[in-house]
Structure 1
Amino acid sequence: MKKIKILALISAVATVFLLLAFFSSLSKPNEAPKTGVLVAAKNIEANVPITQDMITLSELPSEVILAGTLSDANLVLGKVAKSVIIAGEQILQEKLVLAGESKETDLNYAVDPGMRAISIAVDAVSSLSFMITPGNHVDIIAQYEMKSANDQPIQVAKVLAENLMVLAVDSVLAETGKSGLEDATYTTLTLQTTPDQALKLSFSENVGVLRAVLRSPLDETITKLPNVTIDQILAN
């Protein structure tokens, strides 16, 4: 008899625990699945290279994760934010850019630090029949009139700059490439130059004629050729 009472008591206690567990599970809503994504660990200022201490991996419910949010730190580190990213904000691919690369119309990020971007006017002849494309490298020759020692006008050709990278033709950047040149004509080349080269190009375009000379992608030689005059050409 005593054994039966003990078994009944054990059964009752077990039943109570099972009921408590059941009602406890009913009171807890099912948690939404979470995914690890990168968020800003602190405010990230625009145009500052992103370092490891600026980002952290956070588990967020799938329904609040924005399209384009990154989860791989290797895709973020070293890039810069195009605008301020607030602490806790998800790190979006579209808000980042790697210095030296262009995206759509972000020409300013295509320019290397310390360099400048300047556009020069071109036509079919000065652009090699519009075959120069973004990413090519060119030399720029200027031809203009100057006075000789006896005050006579002479035509002079001068290599103004060598091995300049073409950042864009019209508004087509290197990131877009040839796919944006369906009509195959354009009126400007945008070149990456030093500040000094930009000054010389700007001045020379106003007083003379500029022509782009396409370079081999395998040739980075700087020739530093002397100026050429018509007398020198005729003499040879």
Structure 2
Amino acid sequence: MKVKILLLILAIIFGLAAVFGVMFYINNLRASIEKEGEKIDVLVATQDIIKDTSVEEIISKKLVEVKKIPRRYIVAAYMTSLDKYQDYFVSNQISKGEQITPVKFIKSSDITFSFEVPKGMVAISIPFNEVVGVSNLLTVGDRVNVIATFLVEQQQQVQQQDTSSQTADTSGTQSNAAGNGNGGAASGNDYSSGNPSAVVTDTTKTVLWNIEILYIGAKVIIDELSTTNKGLLSSSGSSKEPVEIKTVTLAVTPEQAEKLVFSEELGTVWLALLPVGGVEETDTPGRTLDNIFIK
């Protein structure tokens, strides 16, 4: 009889312990859920912020805002203000909706050029976008080929602008020369002469080989004429909206610099990413409508 009573008492004690244990677990779980669900003020990007953007510009253009985010979704070292980062710049691109952290910024005094122009070379920067820049796969140290396309219609427009200020006799001579050029279109382009007038039909040709990339940068500006700037924009742009200009800096010889600038000014330039070590330079024929289907 005594044993039964003892067992009953033990059962009651263990039952109460189990109840209290479950209640303790539930209370802890509830507190944990409430803590994770607690919303904290966090600084978040309202739009994409490109590299080299100053904190002053970020604040003035309201590129970030404070949002309440559940604690469980907050990243480590999150920020709530940029007050202590007035003289800093963005070191890596920040995506829209991304939480702002200190690792995304660099002090202005720590910014230095990460490249040195090789001896005997010059550094030339040209604008590029995602298409020209191989879907943003280009990085410093890569080597590229520069491919240029020239359209006869564009060249004729340039020639007409250049001759608008000349005398009537000179204009007549120019007109006759243009007529002779149109008559030779069917024979294709002759590059051997080195004469610009040899380009008588739309053509695409590799003009520079194994060119080293020294630097890739970007800057946001407000340009009323942004929609007319060729090859500069990564977005449509307007007189009231910031426009992103991306540039790639290449190491070239003085002679190559002339080719590069001429191609960028009067034609359309593409960059072709090369394997490590580059490729062997060959004499390509260039492509026109006459030989596009020829191997």
TM-score (norm 2): 0.37
TM-score (norm 1): 0.46
Whose relative contact order is higher, 1 or 2, with alpha carbons under 8 Å and at least 6 apart?
Answer: 2
**Structure with more helix by fraction:** 2
